[in-house]
Structures are given as structure tokens and as C-alpha cells.
């Protein structure tokens, strides 16, 4: 089948994904108050897990066995600092410092349905080039999402993201993509952040996707970090990561996760 294995759901199932996404979004709002100098990444992880479980949900990453890794992932969050792109491990030894950027990626499982979200925080004031990197990455996410509507080509998403990122002389991380999501954390199709407009399969209505540009200030090359999990920029340049869980509709995209709880929390820090 053309869409074999793709997460295409009815409204009742989408509502259950939306419920997971709502918990996840509020968890990020809670976490935003903890992203400050002197807080360990292990503390962030503990705060996230406690919040999720208190809501009757489960951390989707903890115990998850990625197909590209030999061991299950041991934490609730992936916390990637500065030149780490994704999959950074929380640790009591990793304490946030002023001027850093910190990408937090998290998934929630609620009654068998999943949502996924990422946001790059600044730890206090950051240098203007880093502010620009965060802005460009979040804007690239919005431009990718704006391409989503039933009948659009899958390649439209990556084309829009890549075109915008390159216009600011940044790079899209190589070999890192978005994905389908719903009854599993990672499902087909892969959603590359580089693409050709009009290329690839047409998107069906009610397809659920995680759109997630990862953007680097330097080249697009990445490598494994020394801990065996983190993916880092090959040239040591900073990277940012933003992600939403969305539904493809006839009229456009319905975004299930939200940054509004983060923005409200940061306004009162």
C-alpha cells in the first residue's frame, strides 16, 4: 500500500494524541522555570518525569529502544547543550551555565498514544548570534508546518525548511529527520529537513507527523559524541532544535503541541 504503516487516524484517535500533546506542552512550561544557571540536567530530567507521571502519563523516551542504538534510552529527556544537536544525556555532573543554549526533546505516552516536542532554551542572556540561530530554527519549523495540507508533497516540507535556513547562512543537520507518530513514537514516513518542492508522496488527510528542524551555525556535518548517545556538530558549532506534533488537514496543519506554556512561564521568570 502507498501509505503502509503511516499514522493516519480517525478523530477519536487524534483526540488521544492531542491529550498526550497537551500534557507534554504543559510539562515544557513547568520545565521552563527550571532552565537557569546552576541547575543540573539531571534535575531537569527528574522534574519532567515527575510532572508527566503526576498527569497519569508516561515518559515515552525512557526505556525506548531506538533502531540505531544498542541499548534502550535511560532518561525522560534528551538534553543537548551548545554543540550537541540531539540525544544529549542528563547528568548530575552537567550543570547549566549562563550564556548556554539547551535543546530539550521529550515524548509522552498516554493510553497507548504518543506526542513529541522539542524546544531550545537560552540560559539567561545569550550572544546575538545564538539568538539568531534560535529564531531561524523556530521560524524554519513554522515554514515547514505551513506546507502541510492534504495533497501537498512530502518534499515541500524539507524544501521550505532548507531554503529558509540557507538564506541565513546556517545549515540543516545531516541525516536527522522528522517522522510519523501516533501509536508508536517513531513511525513512517521520515520527514527530511532538506527536500525538493513537489517531490515525494502526497500527504493524506489526518496523517500525524513530528516536524523537527535541527539547525547548525556551521556546516551540516555531525558525529557521535563521547558518551555514545549525543549527536554533536562535527565542527563544534552551536545547534538548535525545535519540534511540534501536527496533524495534516485539508485546510492546513493542526499543531497539537504548543509553546504557549513556555512563553507564559518565561514571561514571569
For residue 245 the three cell numbers come to: 506534533
Q: Quote the pLDDT of residue 118.
A: 99
Residue 3 lies in a domain: no
CA–CA gap between residue 181 and residue 13 (Å, rounded): 12
CA proximity to 170, closest of 229, 213, 122, 106? 213
- Cβ atoms within 10 Å of 21's Cβ, excluding its own: 27
Domain count within the chain:
1
| CATH code, domain carrying 108 | 3.90.230.10
Contact 31, 41 (CB under 8 A): no
Residue 4 lies in a domain: no
pLDDT over 70, % of the chain? 100
* Model confidence pLDDT, tens digit, residues 72-104: 999 999 999 999 999 999 999 999 999 999 999
Domain range for residue 78? 11-267
Question: Counting Cβ atoms within 10 Å, is residue 250 exposed (0-12), middle (13-18) or buried (19+)?
Answer: exposed
Q: Quote the pLDDT of residue 151.
A: 98
Contact 211, 244 (CB under 8 A): yes
Q: Which DSSP helix (H) or strand (E) runs through 81?
A: strand 77-81
Residue 1 lies in a domain: no
pLDDT over 90, % of the chain? 95
pLDDT bracket for residue 268 (50, 70, 90) = confident
Cis before 189? omega within 30: yes
CA–CA gap between residue 269 and residue 265 (Å, rounded): 7
pTM of whole model > 0.85?
yes
Amino acid at each position: 500500500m502507498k501509505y503502509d504503516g503511516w499514522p493516519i487516524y480517525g478523530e477519536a484517535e487524534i483526540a488521544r494524541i492531542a491529550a498526550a500533546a497537551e500534557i507534554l506542552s504543559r510539562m515544557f512550561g513547568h520545565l521552563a522555570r527550571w532552565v537557569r544557571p546552576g541547575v543540573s540536567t539531571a534535575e531537569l530530567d527528574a522534574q519532567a518525569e515527575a510532572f508527566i507521571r503526576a498527569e497519569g502519563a508516561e515518559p515515552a523516551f525512557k526505556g525506548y529502544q531506538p533502531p540505531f542504538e544498542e541499548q534502550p534510552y535511560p532518561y525522560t529527556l534528551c538534553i543537548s547543550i551548545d554543540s550537541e544537536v540531539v540525544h544529549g544525556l542528563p547528568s548530575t555532573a552537567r550543570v547549566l551555565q549562563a550564556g548556554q543554549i539547551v535543546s530539550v526533546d521529550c515524548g509522552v505516552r498516554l493510553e497507548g498514544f504518543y506526542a513529541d516536542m522539542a524546544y531550545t532554551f537560552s540560559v539567561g542572556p545569550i550572544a546575538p548570534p545564538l539568538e539568531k540561530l534560535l529564531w531561524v530554527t523556530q521560524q524554519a519549523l513554522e515554514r515547514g508546518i505551513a506546507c502541510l495540507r492534504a495533497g501537498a508533497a512530502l518534499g515541500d516540507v524539507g524544501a521550505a525548511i532548507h531554503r529558509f535556513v540557507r538564506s541565513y547562512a546556517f545549515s540543516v543537520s545531516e541525516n536527522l529527520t522528522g517522522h510519523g507518530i501516533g501509536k508508536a513514537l517513531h513511525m513512517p514516513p521520515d520527514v527530511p529537513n532538506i527536500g525538493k518542492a513537489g517531490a515525494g508522496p502526497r500527504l493524506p488527510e489526518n496523517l500525524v507527523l513530528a516536524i523537527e528542524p535541527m539547525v547548525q551555525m556551521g556546516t551540516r556535518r555531525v558525529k557521535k559524541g563521547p558518551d555514545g548517545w549525543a549527536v554533536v556538530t562535527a565542527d563544534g558549532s552551536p545547534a538548535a532544535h525545535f519540534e511540534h506534533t501536527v496533524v495534516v488537514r485539508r485546510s492546513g496543519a493542526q499543531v497539537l503541541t504548543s509553546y504557549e506554556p513556555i512563553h507564559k512561564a518565561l514571561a514571569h521568570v
